[in-house]
A and B are shown apart, each in its own frame.
Chain A
């Protein structure tokens, strides 16, 4: 099991402001700052972070990856995972309480606080992916060809990996054990949850320059940047 200390998951204030649309270089109003402080307090009291991780061999992952056969014809992950040093299925949730608190805030017209807490929780869930990546790297993933191995999380629903692959990922990993369930659209509940495969490989494997058809519709093209940023 991976430990997810809240202090590691709590996002930086600047990141929350950016997620809420504050332009770089602008200063938030004093009311907005006060709101963020309240949201961070709620984050500490309502978060119940839990994660699950399990090694999987390449051949078996190929089956999970293929899912219901609805992936894009060509995807980055399809080329990356066969060259990995190791693969781990992964699921994480911030817990049900924080989602319920966000709902409660909206229902009681405290939507300003609700939306800030929502942003904090979303960023924390993303950060959990990075915590897991670092944890896997620390577990002493094998060095290959002398290159420094890096673990990156790839998730169904992104980069041509169809979200319906969640079904096989859940059948194998059983994230129900930590309270995550799937609906018929393959969405996770609680909402502030993430899943996917941690691919450990020399950094260069994660880099790609191809532009895939689905890239044209992508509004958060961070996949290339992260490969470059952590390649050193």
Chain B
């Protein structure tokens, strides 16, 4: 359908004012909200994510596209809710206890929403107990943790250990990221995945969510 391609292209160019009228037009043409979401907005964000991955575009372009996605979602959200359409899964994110840096975590949250996930953002300075409680209470499939300091990294292990202790590591997966964190560290503490940047984090969450669901 031509209109869905137009929505995706408009989103890719980061035109947040252009996307909502196109979404409304698609609805007028009788296309169901879920199709507009999947084949218009998310399809556009997937292209953006891929271009970012191969360095064809850079971060501000991705964020402009995400803003356009949000503008489109503002139109679709009430319709998706009333139609009972669920998200791709819930993801709890936060910067670990002691850490006030949250830009990286915020960017991952924005990209996850763009990929169709429901994001519960706990902010910064989040304790292990708070991560696990939020994941349990919201029926989340993934916990995403960010740390910018080597001194706060151990909280990530506390979350992994707490999930194991509560026998939740099979249903709630963990992904970690941040400047001092590495794939090796993820393996060392038993986290399920590591995201080098926000594109890799989204790809990791997609895999983890698919494995759990």
Q: Does A219 contact B107, Cβ atoms closer than 8 Å?
A: no
Residue B152 is within 8 A (CB to CB) of chain A in the complex: yes
Q: Does A189 contact B60, Cβ atoms closer than 8 Å?
A: no
Q: Which residue of B lies closest to A184 (CB)?
A: B98
Beyond A106-B106, A217-B180, is A183–B100 a contact (Cβ under 8 Å)?
Answer: yes
Q: Does B100 contact A191, Cβ atoms closer than 8 Å?
A: yes
Q: Does B64 contact A28, Cβ atoms closer than 8 Å?
A: no
Q: Does A23 contact B55, Cβ atoms closer than 8 Å?
A: yes
Q: Does A115 contact B98, Cβ atoms closer than 8 Å?
A: no
Beyond A109-B67, A111-B67, A187-B98, is A35–B179 a contact (Cβ under 8 Å)?
Answer: no
Q: Which residue of B lies closest to A70 (CB)?
A: B151
B100's partner among A31, A189, A217 (CB-CB below 8 A) is: A189
B 72-110 to A, binary, CB cutoff 8 A, 1 in contact else 0: 000000000000000000000000011111010011001
B98's partner among A28, A35, A185 (CB-CB below 8 A) is: A185
A187's partner among B55, B103, B149, B180 (CB-CB below 8 A) is: B149
Q: Which residue of A lies closest to B185 (CB)?
A: A217
Q: Which residues of A have CB within 8 Å of B197?
A: 21
A185's partner among B13, B151, B180 (CB-CB below 8 A) is: B151
Q: Which residues of A have CB within 8 Å of B101?
A: 187, 191
Residues facing B in A81-129 (CB within 8 A) are: 102, 106, 109-112, 115-116, 118
Determine the distance from Cα of A36 to Cα of B58 in the docked complex, in whole angstroms.
Answer: 13
A186's partner among B14, B57, B151 (CB-CB below 8 A) is: B151
Interface size bucket, A side? Answer: 20 to 34
Determine the distance from Cα of A19 to Cα of B147 in the docked complex, in whole angstroms.
Answer: 19
Beyond A111-B106, A183-B100, is A20–B14 a contact (Cβ under 8 Å)?
Answer: no
Residue A209 is within 8 A (CB to CB) of chain B in the complex: no
Residue B70 is within 8 A (CB to CB) of chain A in the complex: yes
Q: Which residue of B lies closest to A163 (CB)?
A: B151
Q: Which residues of B have CB within 8 Å of A162?
A: 151
- Please report the number of residue pairs spanning A and B whose Cβ atoms sit closer than 8 angstroms: 85
Residue A152 is within 8 A (CB to CB) of chain B in the complex: no
Q: Which residue of B lies closest to A19 (CB)?
A: B59
Residue A179 is within 8 A (CB to CB) of chain B in the complex: no
Q: Does A111 contact B152, Cβ atoms closer than 8 Å?
A: no
Q: Which residues of B have CB within 8 Å of A29?
A: 14, 57, 60-61
Determine the distance from Cα of A9 to Cα of B102 in the docked complex, in whole angstroms.
Answer: 23
Q: Does B58 contact A217, Cβ atoms closer than 8 Å?
A: no
Q: Which residue of B lies closest to A35 (CB)?
A: B60
Q: Does B60 contact A32, Cβ atoms closer than 8 Å?
A: yes
Q: Does B110 contact A21, Cβ atoms closer than 8 Å?
A: no
Q: Which residue of A lies closest to B63 (CB)?
A: A112
Q: Does A20 contact B150, Cβ atoms closer than 8 Å?
A: no
Q: Which residues of B have CB within 8 Å of A116?
A: 60
Q: Which residue of A lies closest to B182 (CB)?
A: A217
Determine the distance from Cα of A23 to Cα of B97 in the docked complex, in whole angstroms.
Answer: 33
Q: Which residue of B lies closest to A99 (CB)?
A: B100
Determine the distance from Cα of A6 to Cα of B126 in the docked complex, in whole angstroms.
Answer: 35
Sample of 17 A–B contacts (CB below 8 Å): A21-B59, A22-B58, A26-B55, A28-B58, A29-B57, A31-B13, A31-B61, A35-B60, A109-B67, A110-B67, A111-B66, A115-B59, A115-B60, A115-B107, A157-B151, A187-B100, A187-B101
Given contact pairs A26-B58, A219-B180, a sample of 5 additional A-B residue pairs in the complex whose CB atoms are under 8 Å apart: A21-B197, A31-B64, A32-B58, A106-B106, A217-B182
Residues of B within 8 A of A (CB): 13-14, 55, 57-61, 63-64, 66-67, 70, 97-101, 103, 106-107, 110, 149-152, 179-180, 182, 197
